[in-house]
Amino acid sequence: CHSPCTFSACSLPTPKWLQANDLQKEVYQHLAYYVPKIYCRGPNPAPQREDMLAQHVLLGPMEWYLCGEDPAFGFPKLEQANKPSHLCGRVFKVGEPTYSCRDCAVDPTCVLCMECFLGSIHREHRYRMTTSGGGGFCDCGDTEAWKEGPYCQKHELNTSETAEEEDPLVHLPEDMVVRAYNIFAITFKYAVDILTWEKENELPGLEMIEKSDTYYCMLFNDEVHTYEQVIYTLQKAVNCTQKEAIGFATTVDRDGRRSVRYGDFQYCDQAKSVIVRNTSRQTKPLKVQVMHSSIVAHQSFGLKLLTWLGSVIGYSDGLRRILCQVGLQEGPDGENSSLVDKLMLYDSKLWKGARNVYHQLFMSSLLMDLKYKKLFAIRFARNYERLQSDFMKDDHDREFSIADLSIQIFTVPSLARMLITEENLMTTIIKTFMDHLRHRDIQGRFQFERYTALQAFKFRRVQSLIVDLKYVLISKPTEWSDDLRHKFLEGFDAFLELLKCMQGMDPITRQVGQHIEMEPEWEAAFTLQMKLTLVISMMQDWCALDEKVLIEAYKKCLTVLMQCHSGFTDGEQPIVLSMCGHSVETIRYCVSQEKVSIHLPVSRLLAGLHVLLSKTEVAYKFPELLPLSELSPPMLIEHPLRCLVLCAQVHAGMWRRNGFSLVNQIYYYHNVKCRREMFDKDIVMLQTGVSMMDPNHFLMIMLSRFELYQIFSTPDYGKRFSTENTNKDVVQQNNTLIEEMLYLIIMIVGERFSPGIGQVNATDEIKREIIHQLSIRPMAHSELVKALPEDENRETGMESVIEEVACFKKPGLTGRGLYELKPECARNFNLYFYHFSRAEQSKAEEAQRKLKRQNREDTALPPPALPPFCPLFASLVNILQSDVMLCIMGTILQWAVEHNGYAWSESMLQRVLHLLGMALQEEKQHLENLNEENVVTFTFTQKISRPGEAPNNSPSILAMLETLQNAPHLEVHKDMIRWILKTFNTIKKLRESSSTSPVAETEGNIMEESSRDKDKAERKRKAEIARLRREKIMAQMSEMQRHFINENKELFQQTLEELDTSTSGVHENSPVISDAKLTALGPEQTRVAEHRQVVMCILCQEEQEVKVDSRAMVLAAFIQRSTVLSKNRNKITPDPEKYDPLFMHPDLSCGTHTGSCGHIMHAHCWQRYFDAVQAKEQRRQQRLRVHTSYDVENGEFLCPLCECLSNTVIPLLPPPRVLFNRSVCFLNVLNKCSSGNAEKMDQLQLPEGFRPDFKPKNPYSESIKEMLTTFGTATYKVGLKVHPNEEDPRVPIMCWGSCAYTIQTIERILADEDKPLFGHLPCRQDDCLTSLTRFAAAHWTVSSLPAVQTHFCTLLASLVPNEKNGNLPCILDIDMFHLLVSLVLSFPAIHCQDFSGVSLGTGDLHLFHLVTMAHIIQILLTSSTEENGMDQENTNSEEEVAVLTLYKFLCQCTGSALKEISSGWHLWRNLKAGIMPFLRCSALFFHYLNGVPAPSEIQVNGTNQFEHLCSYLSLPNNLTCLFQENSEILNTLIESWCSNSEVKRYLEGKRHAISYARESNKLIDLPDDYSCLINQASNFSCPKSGGDKSRAPTLCLVCGTMLCSQSYCCQTELEGEDVGACTAHTYTCGSGVGIFLRVRECQVLFLAGKTKGCFYPPPYLDDYGETDQGLRRGNPLHLCKERFKKIQKLWQQHSITEEIGHAQEANQTLVGIDWQHL
């Protein structure tokens, strides 16, 4: 490291400073002189040079001055003397993982950095992880942030010694304190002055040393203009290239400003005006400023100084404190004149980069010093209003604003409390908030109508104030001082003022006649309500903590509510209602005719406080302090009731003409995000009001508000109403309204699960919510969380109770873990649970009935037994037995009995039955809990036994139920009615037993006994009815069939595939050639009887036999380039036009894979189909210009049956070898060929028996020939990425290569899965390999004969060298299996002209032996046999001796360059392992070529696989025996192989070679804990823009490279198009196919080519068996190995492209994504 001090030591500004009288002047002079000389010397910044010079000339001297000695010694000394802070305070980078403990964090904003988290106790707790958005710091060591374990191991060490309140200055020498104070004061002030400087041509307190005419045209960032706009404008304005423009735009976006031109004033000003002119057409022009270069220079150094200060105070807490002191010291201008104040107040005018720097300094100084944190908090609170107002006008996001620091200050409980009491913070925040929402209507309510875009923007910003309020309230006080009470209530007052402005806002009136013209604005009001929900709840929580506060708050709230509704005004006339001998006075008001509002926050807050009076028992302890007598129940219920009636009317379709805005409002009113402080509280308010009223009065008022009073109060009105042939819609409406009203009564009486209303605790409440959610269906953890309300700590409280009510079912390979309701909890199910939506209710009903049927129970769903009410609400139960209620129930039952007309509904009856059930349950519970003292006042059973009075003389409710029991039209409700009657009897017995002596239980038993027979008959009848119902359902089902098929596509596909297997699967498996030894090739080859193979065309359904001379049948196939087996991903792809693919390199860096879905068509049927697809696609593209999941122009299409992506077809052929075979002498050819070559052959110097003029007759039909060419050309085109050319001599090579490569991939998959070689391939792969091999064998018949012959000779020459073929690869550089396949498949081209009498089979065998021997030598040469380690058995078997001999010969040939090995055992073991893949591939190859069935031993995993393979392949078990025949010739061969110069270079260690067996490629290893990946990604920076954090770091799962995806910086040009880093990477790493993990999103990305891609679920699951795509929930994620294996298998099987195709077909939006930009 260079020493920065030498310069300052000799040029000596420092000593001068030491003695200086006016230090500031000296320093300023120094800066004025040097800064412009160092910074801003040209158009482009040179940060390295600038930093280096600044350190030498500017900062170095300051460090010397500060330390009083060489800082290289001074700083370490300081560091040592420092008692380091026990706060971590690490400031988070963008994307860095942060952790919060759900058990111990005081609030969710308390986070730990990864290092602290790993060393803390919280890693064993329930934690949550997120990625930081940048800013914010680690809270480790902050005792206020954690309920437990505030320190990690690292930071705990320091706590024991540090006395909390010790002044850190005592650790510093006194003179240093003075010097630090001086230099900090000067530099800090300099930096603040220059950064807040507004003049363009002068400097603050600095002389312009040289006033040159150099300016910058500075472009500033805003959040309004897009990247594209800026880039476009810059290209025009400053005449730069697009690349430069992108560079400028990137910097402007990152730093907030960038000079785009450098030169004299006029030159810069010109650019400025062009930019302004070009962008002013949009909302607001870009900000541009022409600045003198000196100012820019000083500003650059100012920022550098702030960073420097931040690092210097890192050495010592004492220095930190001095800096804090300097920063907060009041300046000469009094209030707000400290440097910190100045910066804060100038914040919104600073550019982003400057803000970031000083915010960071604040965080590492003021927020790290406990004393000054408090002082700073006060400054922040005092400036709060101003800072927020600045922020409203600021066009930067909040994360770049100083206002965002509130999260660091307000969330500290002690600071928040202090700011509330001393600075009245609550009131300040609320008042500031109100100040920014100025639009009010005449009643003073908020008005959001006619909202402009600008106001909407502002409104979004204002909402951050609510977040601040939430922070302040988040930690609740444990102790209350009078001051706190006073200030809280003052804040509460302000809050009530706010709610008052919301009470009744956005009123609506029912639209009649025509639809509303414009949907009214409603979202703003709801957003406000939604954001405030948590705050309202927290206000109540605070009130609940202190009795005095609660009483005062209740009084205040009531006063405000009365102000809101001062009396019944608005011409609401009093009217009198009377029914059943009761009468009540109310007002004339119709929801359907007058204004009504959904927003009633004041009523709802009062309702909440009222419940608290009961919950905290204040209502019972201090009734005299409460204004209970002032409460007017009718006033309390009026508005909530109107709101609920509105919902009912909307549901009844009465408000259709008011459009969707109303529907949306009603939706949110009930939604889980709002309901807690909306719908729920309205129910509470009704409960509150009714508990203080005569229930008869309430019911009449309710009837009146529902506009149903007439129907129930007028005798026989119902009859008229049902027979009268009035408007059917009106009757329907009334039916719905009656249903809704009954539902409301059920809720008022039944909803008692909030603590304070019923005698329950919070756990009971949450349990009930979960039970009802799970009654609908089993749910995943995240679904449940979404269905439950979250508190301010983002907790639902679910985890603590879920075990009690549900069982967890783990997920399989797909899907997610599910919670299932425990069976015993089903009895708590309430069909009319108030949080069910209508759809949920009917689903739950269906599910519960089904469950009961499965358990062979009756299907009644009676109301569950409920907990008792708290005393304050106890009188509510009387609604059920009130006269008006009985009248309503009686009337409805009467309608059901009469069963005439349509003015009646089953749901109505169902609700009445439910209410009856509730009443009976109530009475039963009363009786059961009866004790001596109290009298049972609940006498429902008596009341329903009484018949109606004159003049109606209607039958009693009980009698009507008995009648209904046998009504045929009420089959569904029969079980419920029976349950009611049974319960009625039970109660009667209970009553009797309580009044007299215990009644004999036996009586009941007998009764039940007798009823059993009756039950039996009943059940039979029911079964019949059920059958009829089933039939009806079946009819409906068939109607829905088309829909069903779509829904269950996957299932259908499976069946299709199964069918398929059974038709085309006439395979070789059937013939039993049992005991005979099976041989796959050579003269000894087992003869196989030929099968007729008959297949069916999926397009025309015609059957046809596969024959040489018939029409071609084809398989849909997909050819792709592949690097799956590659051992060298960095290989540069050669120019495809010149590339010679004849030899495959053993690194298999790029192969051609062929796959097929196995579906068969006629060639002509396919042709027709493909033409049609093409035509359709062309039309579609012209019309819509949309992409499809397949690229027709590239020959792609979807298999017509399974929609599998395909790009060509393979013809089906009979076994080809039989056709070409003739008895010919082969050995001759081999010998002659090896000494000659193709050229010679042309010159007729041919061995005996050759007839070069002989043209073999092509046995295939025209149609098959055509398909041979089609597939061959496709392989060539895709494999080499060239234009199709069927004449190219490389076509046959590519065909053989694809055959070899595909066999190799399949062999690898089988080996990896530990499956036997034969008998375990899926049908489609089996079919594909058969066709592919037969095709490759037949292809020579359509290519140029001389070309194939030349290929054969060249191939052979690589093993049997001769002088003329000098440039062939050495045996180390040839993949032997590819060579084998090519040799065998090209051989017939030679053989067909050879009439010397050797069979093709003999030739195959010789070729196979030759290649195998070469492979053995290859393995021995490259083997890395280590003799140590393994236990060796000294068996000295024949094989071992032989291989050792061979090896020794090899050593001889290579001039002893080979490693000496003396263990034959090791060598043989190594050789066997190395050659196995080759033998297995060969077995597959010859099996598919010749059709010889595989011996049963290799169809299972077992011992001696090697021996069985050798036998099948006609090889000796002792492979080295091959060398012993013709040993002389072979020794010459070996010698010639070894003498190759490349082999020599390898042996000398000058080059690398592949060794065997090649290991299978796997995807990279992923860590178990996902946060490791997040951390890795957060340390990754974009490789192109110098150390910048990448926005979308993306990991290649194939090679492990991290990429900077989806951003301009890393776009590159590929084939003339700009593509993102991922797409570019796929071309080198995966030949177009890629598998990535988007780390920030926790999402797998599949890419293929430039236009195809899809997302795939990541292999990471949380403890609940769910993935977290987008990392939204933050539960800890762990690797699921099975799912990762599944992804790996997709890759190994080459199914990625297919997977993408299916995903895109299923989800069309995926097609539109610009995948190439990722």
Q: Give the footprint of Zn ion on this chain (CB under 5 A).
A: 88, 90, 101, 103-104, 113, 116, 122, 125, 138, 140, 152, 155, 1097, 1099-1100, 1157, 1159, 1162, 1165, 1199, 1201-1202, 1204, 1582, 1584, 1596, 1598-1599, 1601, 1604, 1609-1610, 1629
For Zn ion, the closer of residues 1479 and 1566 by Cβ is 1566
For Zn ion, the closer of residues 1159 and 1683 by Cβ is 1159
Query: Which has the closest alpha carbon to 415: 388, 375, 387?
Result: 375
State the nearest-atom distance from the C-beta of 154 to Zn ion, in Å.
5
State the nearest-atom distance from the C-beta of 321 to Zn ion, in Å.
21
In the chain, the amino acid numbered 1325 is Q
CA distance 1337 to 1214: 11
For Zn ion, the closer of residues 314 and 1216 by Cβ is 314
State the nearest-atom distance from the C-beta of 95 to Zn ion, in Å.
13
State the nearest-atom distance from the C-beta of 1196 to Zn ion, in Å.
14
State the nearest-atom distance from the C-beta of 1127 to Zn ion, in Å.
14
CA distance 1124 to 1691: 7
State the nearest-atom distance from the C-beta of 101 to Zn ion, in Å.
3
For Zn ion, the closer of residues 1281 and 1584 by Cβ is 1584
For Zn ion, the closer of residues 577 and 1202 by Cβ is 1202
Please state the φ and ψ torsions of residue 1065, each to the nearest 5 degrees.
-80, 40
Residue 1149 neighbours by CB distance under 10 Å: 18
State the nearest-atom distance from the C-beta of 140 to Zn ion, in Å.
3
Residue ranges of alpha helices (H) inside 503-570 are 523-544, 547-564
For Zn ion, the closer of residues 155 and 189 by Cβ is 155
Do residues 670 and 740 touch, judged by C-beta distance below 8 A? no
For Zn ion, the closer of residues 113 and 1124 by Cβ is 113
Residue 1559 neighbours by CB distance under 10 Å: 9
List the Cα angle 257/258/262 in 5-degree steps.
Answer: 140
CA distance 1187 to 1104: 37
β-sheet bridge partners, residue 1450 = none
Query: Which has the closest alpha carbon to 1404: 1321, 1513, 1525?
Result: 1513
For Zn ion, the closer of residues 553 and 1098 by Cβ is 1098
For Zn ion, the closer of residues 8 and 250 by Cβ is 250
For Zn ion, the closer of residues 1589 and 1652 by Cβ is 1589
For Zn ion, the closer of residues 722 and 1601 by Cβ is 1601
Query: Which has the closest alpha carbon to 1556: 1456, 1476, 1446?
Result: 1476
Burial grade of 1102 (CB within 10 A; 0-12, 13-18, 19 or more) = exposed
For Zn ion, the closer of residues 247 and 890 by Cβ is 247
State the nearest-atom distance from the C-beta of 1604 to Zn ion, in Å.
3
Residue with tokens 């309020």: 469
Please write down the HEC assignment for all residues of 208-272: CCCCCCCEEEEEECCCCCCHHHHHHHHHHHCCCCHHHHHHHHHHHHHHCEEEEEEECHHHHHHHH
Burial grade of 1591 (CB within 10 A; 0-12, 13-18, 19 or more) = middle
Do residues 1578 and 96 touch, judged by C-beta distance below 8 A? yes
CA distance 518 to 657: 11
Residue 764 neighbours by CB distance under 10 Å: 18
State the nearest-atom distance from the C-beta of 90 to Zn ion, in Å.
5
State the nearest-atom distance from the C-beta of 1566 to Zn ion, in Å.
14
For Zn ion, the closer of residues 110 and 618 by Cβ is 110
State the nearest-atom distance from the C-beta of 1458 to Zn ion, in Å.
35
For Zn ion, the closer of residues 1059 and 1100 by Cβ is 1100
CA distance 299 to 346: 15
State the nearest-atom distance from the C-beta of 1260 to Zn ion, in Å.
19
State the nearest-atom distance from the C-beta of 1104 to Zn ion, in Å.
8
Please state the φ and ψ torsions of residue 1679, each to the nearest 5 degrees.
-65, 130
State the nearest-atom distance from the C-beta of 1713 to Zn ion, in Å.
20
Query: Which has the closest alpha carbon to 1212: 1164, 1281, 1165, 1160?
Result: 1160
State the nearest-atom distance from the C-beta of 1716 to Zn ion, in Å.
16
List the Cα angle 1699/1700/1703 in 5-degree steps.
Answer: 85
For Zn ion, the closer of residues 88 and 494 by Cβ is 88
State the nearest-atom distance from the C-beta of 1267 to Zn ion, in Å.
14
β-sheet bridge partners, residue 1648 = 1633, 1652
For Zn ion, the closer of residues 276 and 1609 by Cβ is 1609
Residue 277 neighbours by CB distance under 10 Å: 13
Query: Which has the closest alpha carbon to 1250: 1238, 1262, 1260?
Result: 1238
As a residue count, the chain comes to 1718
Using DSSP's 3-state secondary structure scheme, residue 1154 falls into strand
State the nearest-atom distance from the C-beta of 105 to Zn ion, in Å.
7
Do residues 974 and 858 touch, judged by C-beta distance below 8 A? no
Using DSSP's 3-state secondary structure scheme, residue 1286 falls into coil
Residue 359 neighbours by CB distance under 10 Å: 22
**Assigned token pair, 1675:** 């539960």
To which H or E segment does residue 345 belong? helix 339-346
CA distance 171 to 186: 23
In the chain, the amino acid numbered 99 is Y
For Zn ion, the closer of residues 910 and 1207 by Cβ is 1207
**Assigned token pair, 359:** 């915010």
**Beta 574-579 vs 582-587: how paired, if at all?**
antiparallel
For Zn ion, the closer of residues 126 and 1689 by Cβ is 126
State the nearest-atom distance from the C-beta of 497 to Zn ion, in Å.
39
- Count CA atoms within 13 Å of residue 1267 on its CB side: 32
